[in-house]
Structure 1
Amino acid sequence: MEEGEARSFLKKFVEEFPAAPEEGSPLPVSPLSRRVSEEELHGESLELGLRLLSARGSPAVLSALMCQAALSQLLQDDLSPHHCPQDAEVNQEEEQEAVLLQSEAVGRLFFHQLINVALTWHQNLPKLPSPPSASQYLLCSVHAIKNTRRKMEDKHLALPDFNQLFGFQDGVKRSYFAVFDGHGGVDAAIFAATHLHVSLSKQESLQSDPAAAFKDAFTHTDHMFRGKARRERLRSGTTGVAALIQGQELSVAWLGDSQVILVRQGQTVTLMDPHKPDREDEKQRIEDLGGCVTFMGCWRVNGTYAVSRAIGDFDQKPYVSGDADCSTVQLLGDEDYLLLACDGFFDAISPSEVPRLVLDALKQPDDPDELGGDALLDQSDDAVGLRVAQKLVGHAKSAGSSDNITVMLVFLHPPLQLLTRDSAAGTAEAAQDSTSHGAPQE
């Protein structure tokens, strides 16, 4: 991020928000919940800040730094005046589980801190992180559609600046990406997208054993959502897949049938095996617990959910497990990209098709009508890459998917380099064929 870009954004931001919202005035963005527990405050505050700053075009790293600074100040405040009064509808045992805070009141406090950070930095900008080197290239292309479903229940999150959001200063670059596919409502997916990365950041084993940290973070997020589901009588669930790039190490964790694949030099690298009720080990696990897997249009756990692992779905725990699986691989530097997607994509597109489809999407001229009707489309490297996810979603829809579809591509090299390599490989192959065919006959 250039210093001039940060200063330009801060100037516009403080012109729009010269002071914190007054008591009784509407907040610039609405809180996710009416009440939050003290444990949920961290994730929900960061979500408010990132949503506000992103909507105004803030550079991602600046957003992360500002939200981290504002949250640090908020957590030092006395929040006891904003405790919720005891709810007569909630029995005493449930009320004692967590202290609840009034979301609008603590949200106002957070915005007060965020605006103070902006005013201070506008006058005296702190030292910003150095721009990433070529070896740290990351470009995230993401697109999501409701498709033919009545509601959109997918959520996703990309945090290329994970360290800045959580204050890590150990010199190891970290980036986080996740896709969540909700069912029975969007509440579980929203909750996971708001809190899983926060829980991951707090795991002591994150630096030494990211797989263990990911598993514990999923378990903890599921436990947290149980409290919210009980308070608000929610019955939803969500599958999820998340990836953490930590230095030269890639860790992926998943619950259910959302998937992530890695493409290296045009070849698919299998990182995971999605959890499905008819997967033999999953079926055996469920039956050992006294449950069953039956076919009712699709394979279902106890005749209900078509997923065998998820955050939420507490009426079918432990048959629908909240225990995530995780795998870790070393990045060699020759990887092309990661692709994370929900089953709405993978039900129509097999992982083996992805490399060809991505190359086709990069080669295919953009249609201005599909991309908003722009007369002049940006054909720069990053701009072309950013539009690939939209084309993949369209392909899955054309291939027959009727579900919500979310696709997230994380390019680890500039997208047009993939085309250059593919073109060079094709030229070499053609030359080899020509030499072979032109060899003299004995």
Structure 2
Amino acid sequence: MEDYHVATFVEKGEHELGLFAIYDGHSGDCVPSYLQTHLFDNILKEREFWVDPKKSIFKAYLKTDEAILSHEKGLGRGGSTAVTAVLVNGQRLWVANLGDSRAVISKGGKAIQLTTDHDPNTERASIEHKGGFVSNMPGDVPRVNGQLAVSRAFGDISLKCHLRSDPAIQDTIVDAKTDLLMLASDGLWKVMENQEAVNIARKIKDPQKAAKRLISEALKRDSKDDISCVVVRFR
């Protein structure tokens, strides 16, 4: 188990921010642990955040990845996917991700995916342009250079020249129809469709119990990967 998560609210001047994240590590837990401590700090340090949140998040992701690579001796050669969500004053939601950890919201019970799964086959052209390759072995998922099952990630210094670390970013308005947000690592999504997850979570009023129920269901479905989940319920 190499996952770390964030689920907290902070006050920034006159603003309330909800900070939520899942960091799914591979080849060690040093990188996701570093992300848990530093990524949101880097996002909120950016002066542009209150003027241009998208630009601020984009820059913070790249700066954080550069810092991870520069601390290779301390953090090792591993890496991590990430999905982050910043809820501004309960009204505007900014979501970003690298890799296959995913964010899904429910509007009136309908599941809407806010993130992009960065699959090696989908970004094959970019990988090959950088001199890498994508393996498609029978019985296995597509992998960058036969190793990593995602095309974007933090860290992974041995593969970085063939990977991307620029995040996919999307924002949405939290309106009266928005009932919940969930973030989860791919251990959940490998065995559960977005709508299935929403249907399960909506039946449970307490968000922590809903997250535990989703993890339990993924285990029942024989998920073999790390499973982490955060559920946020809107009133």
* Root mean square deviation of aligned Cα: 1.4
Distance 1:332 1:358 in 2: 19
Which residue in 2 is equivalent to 1:390? 212
Which residue in 2 is equivalent to 1:209? 52
Q: CA deviation at 1:278?
A: 1.5
Which residue in 1 is equivalent to 2:83? 241
Question: Which of 350, 353, 361 is the matching residue for 2:196?
Answer: 353
Q: CA deviation at 1:327?
A: 0.7
- 1:285 matched to 2:126? The reply is yes
The 3 A distance-change label for structure 1 pair 352 and 176 is same
The 3 A distance-change label for structure 1 pair 233 and 259 is closer
**Secondary structure of 1:177's aligned partner:** strand
**For residues 32-51 of structure 1, what are the structure 2 equivalents within 5 Å?**
none
Q: CA deviation at 1:324?
A: 1.1
In terms of Rg, which structure is larger?
1
- 1:404 matched to 2:226? The reply is yes
Q: Is the 8 A contact 2:4 2:33 kept in 1?
A: yes
Question: Which of 127, 143, 152 is the matching residue for 1:300?
Answer: 143
Q: Which has the higher strand share?
A: 2
Q: CA deviation at 1:233?
A: 6.5
Residue-by-residue CA offset, 1:303-345 (whole Å, 9 max, x unaligned): 1211111110011113121111101112223211100000001
Q: How many residues align?
A: 232
Which residue in 1 is equivalent to 2:4? 155
Gaps in structure 2 of 5+ consecutive residues: none
**Secondary structure of 1:405's aligned partner:** coil
Residue-by-residue CA offset, 1:26-71 (whole Å, 9 max, x unaligned): xxxxxxxxxxxxxxxxxxxxxxxxxxxxxxxxxxxxxxxxxxxxxx
**Runs of 4+ in structure 1 over 4 Å off:** none
Q: Is the 8 A contact 2:2 2:28 kept in 1?
A: yes
Distance 2:74 2:17 in 1: 34
Amino acid of the structure 2 residue aligned with 1:392:
L
Report the identity percentage: 31
Amino acid of the structure 2 residue aligned with 1:153:
E
Q: CA deviation at 1:240?
A: 0.4
**Secondary structure of 1:179's aligned partner:** strand
Q: CA deviation at 1:157?
A: 0.8
Q: Which has the higher helix share?
A: 1
Amino acid of the structure 2 residue aligned with 1:394:
S
**For residues 428-439 of structure 1, what are the structure 2 equivalents within 5 Å?**
none
**Secondary structure of 2:161's aligned partner:** coil
Residue-by-residue CA offset, 1:70-106 (whole Å, 9 max, x unaligned): xxxxxxxxxxxxxxxxxxxxxxxxxxxxxxxxxxxxx
Amino acid of the structure 1 residue aligned with 2:58:
K
Which residue in 2 is equivalent to 1:335? 178
Amino acid of the structure 2 residue aligned with 1:391:
R
The 3 A distance-change label for structure 1 pair 233 and 411 is closer
**For residues 362-401 of structure 1, what are the structure 2 equivalents within 5 Å?**
362=204, 384-401=206-223
Gaps in structure 1 of 5+ consecutive residues: 1-151, 363-380, 414-442
Distance 2:59 2:227 in 1: 28
Distance 2:212 2:134 in 1: 35
Which residue in 2 is equivalent to 1:120? none
Greater relative contact order structure (CA < 8 Å, 6+ sep): 2
Q: Is the 8 A contact 2:79 2:155 kept in 1?
A: yes
Q: CA deviation at 1:398?
A: 0.7
